Structure 1
Amino acid sequence: MAARVEWTAADYAAKEAMERIIDDSALAYRVIAERMGGVVSHVRIGYIHNGEKSPVRLSEFLAICDVCGADPVQTVRDILAEARRIEAERAADEMADRIVANPEQFDVAANDNPNKENEATAPRE
């Protein structure tokens, strides 16, 4: 039995791209599989579309782009941009969780300043 594959941000972005490409083609999974010469089964195309099992392989990605009329280069660019966005969002969420879990580690010096009210209203030079 194969080990469970841990999905990356790029895998999730690729899943979304594949879903969009397959949906935009308006082709049934079986038709896509037939046009690919049976290299990928219609069942696997459904798994790719729905993000089930393992992430899309490069050979599957290229074949689906070809059959569905999508530009693979632009699609990869879109996937990379979305993966960066996902990773940045995850990093921000992780930092927010760390702050919530340990607020004392993230105190701002101004919060402890007894003159903060005076300094906040003092005119700037």
Structure 2
Amino acid sequence: MYYFPAEPPYLLILIGFLMALTSGFALSGTLKVMVQQWSTDSAENSPPPSLLRQLFVPFLGITAGVCLFLSSGLEIFGFPSVLALGVGLPLSLLTCLLVWLQLGSMLSFAQRQGMRSLDLDS
């Protein structure tokens, strides 16, 4: 009646988590360096699409790590492998796509209005 995996993918959930974490650190570092360089140079000469191209590989690593983490987590809780991947893949891809679009929107907003416009404390 119930589906119990013989060996739950604990190693895959750890690999997915570490993959997303290290890619997140890479994305954060790359974004900080690029924004510092962007703010010291003239802001009008470096458009955000060039920034987004350089951020694509770390973001792709985050997406793959989240997908692996989510699918493996669903498998641990008893979902069959195909169903776990069928739920985890679209959910993680859609979420990461929306975050990517928001990141592009924020970078273009910062280019138009300046970095001071993103400061929420003032």
Is TM > 0.5 for Structure 1 vs Structure 2? no
**TM-score, structure 2 normalization:** 0.32
**TM-score, structure 1 normalization:** 0.31
Higher helix share: 2
